């Protein structure tokens, strides 16, 4: 007996063996059990996901000597005939080559006769969307009044091309694309049974190339096994598939994140020398960065990033210290470069230029990240200027603002005048906060205790929108209330009311815009930020 290709040798013979698609096989099993199986069934879904395989199993379920049953015996005459592909009462028709009206008329004439020895005559029409309009009309006639002994099963990759009149007479089942981990696991199982030694990387490359199709994956695996003597190395798989080593993709992203332009140019050169298609390499790199972004956005990207589990871990490690905004920027830039690379006369050069452009882009920080960094920096300044707990620490962080604030709230505070008034306690809270989150502490300086009654304190804060937003961030709000508990006592209920300041409200009556701009530019916080990011002040806007 000659070599039997894997997809035929291991074709599932019962619903349990079908890879994924349990949402379809379970529904069919229930329909059989409850006697509600329709006389026309449509299977739609991507190629190689099991449409005709499920149709054949269903044919067995219907015609099995012990049936109808969801678990056909696979030993009776009908089951054996269907397994061998020579069933007397099951007709597999290729819709693409039998798409004319006369083919369907012939089918109708044939369907009028009773089955040879089974319960039903079953017609499985593959690629049914290829039928001509006249053929569909002829098919509709028999679907409207089907003989009791006839059953139709249609398979299609394009259900949108099937007339609604046909669709409405079918029980429809949509098959899903098969995820990469399921394809890898299925191939690994077959290789084990066949005694074939192949690496997980090799299987990953095949599964990726198969793009959700089990049939394609097994056909590629067949091709690779034939081309390799003994154990199948990852290099052999790469040679046959023409894909690039997955490790190279991780090397590219690592070089981008560490700013090694030279390394990327070397990698591109290496791929070029090995005869790799530059456009294909770019597509794979683009997809790799897309997956990295998805992993960064979501700890468990699920089917969105179709990557095997062992790569998911590598990706998580690689993006751990990379800002989301930077990843998004890289992907956006690479996506825009795609249109230059595909039509380029010299795609290698186009690829190099694309990465040189990407490498010239520096990470940008989000507002949250920026505030966190400034806080950390400010923290360093505070700690170096004054010992912890000293009121001087506060003055050092923002001397100008503190002075003006003291004028507004004349209550002075110090360690030598207990018991503290509420205003003093509020100031103490600001001091405590300024050591851990200086930017947030600055926001609270505008706070005034407007009401104290029956263990209840109300703090009113009028500030600009930015500061109000900062106060109202859930984490910040919770921290402020926690500190309130520390300074006012746990039995006091503190409510904070925020209000956005009207334009010019922060300016103070005597200050013109020029003086305010100067004050902003010389503010220690601004100076620190300029120093931290090695930047310059482009403009100052009055809020």
Question: For binding to Zn ion (CB under 5 A), which residues are involved?
Answer: 64, 72-73, 76, 79
CB-nearer residue toward Zn ion: 62 or 442: 62
The nearest distance, CB 89 to Zn ion, in angstroms, is 13
For residues 320 and 451, what is the distance between their CA atoms, to the nearest angstrom?
Answer: 46
The nearest distance, CB 146 to Zn ion, in angstroms, is 24
Q: What is the spatial order of strands in the sheet that 493-500 belongs to?
A: 447-453, 456-463, 493-500
Q: How many CB atoms lie within 10 A of CB 297?
A: 14
CB 378 within 8 A of CB 397: yes
Region label for 373, one of left (φ > 0), alpha (ψ between -120 and 50) or beta (otherwise):
alpha
The nearest distance, CB 220 to Zn ion, in angstroms, is 33
CB-nearer residue toward Zn ion: 121 or 394: 121
For residues 64 and 192, what is the distance between their CA atoms, to the nearest angstrom?
Answer: 31
Using CB atoms within 10 Å of the CB of residue 21, give its burial: 0 to 12 exposed, 13 to 18 middle, 19+ buried.
Answer: buried
The nearest distance, CB 65 to Zn ion, in angstroms, is 5
The nearest distance, CB 46 to Zn ion, in angstroms, is 30
Using CB atoms within 10 Å of the CB of residue 137, give its burial: 0 to 12 exposed, 13 to 18 middle, 19+ buried.
Answer: middle
How far from each other are the two terminal CA atoms of the chain, in whole angstroms? Answer: 85
For residues 329 and 366, what is the distance between their CA atoms, to the nearest angstrom?
Answer: 12
The nearest distance, CB 76 to Zn ion, in angstroms, is 3
For residues 158 and 148, what is the distance between their CA atoms, to the nearest angstrom?
Answer: 28
Give the rounded distance of the alpha carbon of 93 from its chain centre: 39
Q: How large is the C-alpha radius of gyration of the chain?
A: 35
CB-nearer residue toward Zn ion: 48 or 72: 72
The nearest distance, CB 11 to Zn ion, in angstroms, is 16
The nearest distance, CB 181 to Zn ion, in angstroms, is 33
- Tokens of residue 75, six digits: 């030993």
CB-nearer residue toward Zn ion: 74 or 260: 74
The nearest distance, CB 213 to Zn ion, in angstroms, is 29
CB-nearer residue toward Zn ion: 151 or 281: 151
CB-nearer residue toward Zn ion: 81 or 337: 81
For residues 431 and 447, what is the distance between their CA atoms, to the nearest angstrom?
Answer: 13
CB-nearer residue toward Zn ion: 76 or 190: 76
CB-nearer residue toward Zn ion: 53 or 99: 53
CB-nearer residue toward Zn ion: 80 or 477: 80
Per-residue b or e along 80-107, where b marks 16 or more CB atoms closer than 10 Å to that residue's CB: ebbbeeebebbebbebeebbebebbbeb
Distance set, CA 129 to CA 135, 138, 157, 278 (Å) = 11, 14, 8, 36
CB-nearer residue toward Zn ion: 79 or 315: 79
Give the rounded distance of the alpha carbon of 543 from its chain centre: 39
CB 4 within 8 A of CB 220: no
CB-nearer residue toward Zn ion: 13 or 405: 13
CB-nearer residue toward Zn ion: 120 or 288: 120
- Tokens of residue 361, six digits: 């882009």
For residues 268 and 252, what is the distance between their CA atoms, to the nearest angstrom?
Answer: 9
- Tokens of residue 209, six digits: 């190339």
The nearest distance, CB 154 to Zn ion, in angstroms, is 23
Tell me the backbone φ, ψ of residue 117, rounded to 5 degrees. Answer: -150, 10
């Amino acid at each position: 007996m000659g070599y039997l290709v894997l997809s035929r040798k291991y074709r599932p013979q019962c619903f349990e063996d079908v890879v994924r698609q349990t949402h379809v096989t379970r529904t069919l099993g229930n329909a059989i059990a409850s006697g509600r199986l329709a006389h026309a069934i449509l299977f739609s879904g991507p190629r190689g996901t099991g449409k005709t395989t499920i149709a054949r199993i269903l044919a067995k379920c219907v015609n099995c000597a012990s049936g109808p049953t969801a678990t056909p015996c696979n030993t009776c005459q009908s089951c054996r005939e269907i397994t061998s592909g020579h069933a007397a009462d099951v007709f597999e028709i290729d819709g693409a080559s039998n798409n004319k009206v006369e083919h369907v008329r012939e089918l109708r004439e044939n369907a009028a006769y009773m089955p040879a020895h089974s319960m039903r005559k079953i017609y499985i029409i593959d690629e049914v969307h290829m039928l001509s309009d006249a053929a569909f009309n002829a098919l509709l006639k028999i679907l409207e009044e089907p003989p009791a002994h006839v059953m139709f099963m249609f398979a299609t990759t394009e259900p949108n091309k099937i007339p609604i009149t046909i669709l409405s007479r079918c029980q429809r089942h949509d098959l899903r694309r098969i995820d990469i981990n399921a394809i890898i696991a299925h191939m690994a199982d077959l290789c084990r049974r066949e005694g074939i030694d192949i690496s997980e990387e090799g299987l990953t490359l095949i599964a990726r190339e198969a793009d959700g199709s089990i049939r394609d994956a097994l056909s590629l695996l067949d091709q690779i096994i034939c081309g390799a003597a003994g154990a199948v190395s990852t290099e052999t798989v790469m040679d046959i598939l023409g894909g690039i080593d997955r490790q190279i993709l991780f090397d590219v992203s690592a070089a981008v994140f560490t700013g090694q332009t030279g390394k990327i140019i070397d990698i591109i050169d290496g791929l070029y020398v090995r005869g790799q298609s530059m456009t294909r390499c770019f597509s794979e790199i683009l997809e790799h960065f897309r997956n990295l972004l998805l992993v960064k956005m979501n700890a468990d990207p699920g089917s969105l990033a179709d990557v095997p589990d062992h790569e998911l871990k590598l990706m998580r490690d690689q993006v751990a210290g990379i800002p989301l905004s930077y990843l998004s920027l890289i992907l956006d830039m690479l996506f825009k470069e795609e249109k230059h690379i595909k039509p380029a006369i010299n795609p290698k050069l186009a690829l190099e230029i694309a990465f040189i452009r990407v490498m010239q882009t520096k990470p940008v920080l989000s507002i949250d990240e920026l505030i966190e960094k400034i806080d950390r920096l400010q923290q360093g300044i505070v700690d170096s200027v004054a010992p912890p707990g000293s009121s001087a620490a506060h003055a050092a962080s923002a001397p100008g603002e503190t002075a003006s604030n003291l004028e507004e709230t004349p209550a002075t505070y110090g360690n030598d005048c207990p018991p503290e008034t509420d205003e003093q306690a509020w100031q103490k809270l600001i001091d405590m906060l300024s050591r851990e989150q200086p930017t947030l502490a600055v926001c609270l300086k505008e706070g005034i205790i407007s009401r104290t009654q029956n263990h209840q304190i109300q703090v009113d804060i009028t500030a600009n929108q930015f500061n109000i937003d900062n106060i109202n961030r859930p984490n910040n709000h919770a921290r402020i209330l926690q500190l309130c508990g520390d300074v006012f006592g746990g039995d006091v209920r503190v409510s904070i009311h925020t209000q956005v300041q009207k334009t010019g409200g922060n300016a103070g009556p005597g200050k013109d815009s020029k003086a305010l701009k100067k004050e902003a530019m010389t503010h220690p916080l601004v100076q620190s930020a300029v120093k931290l990011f090695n930047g310059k002040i482009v403009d100052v806007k009055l809020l």
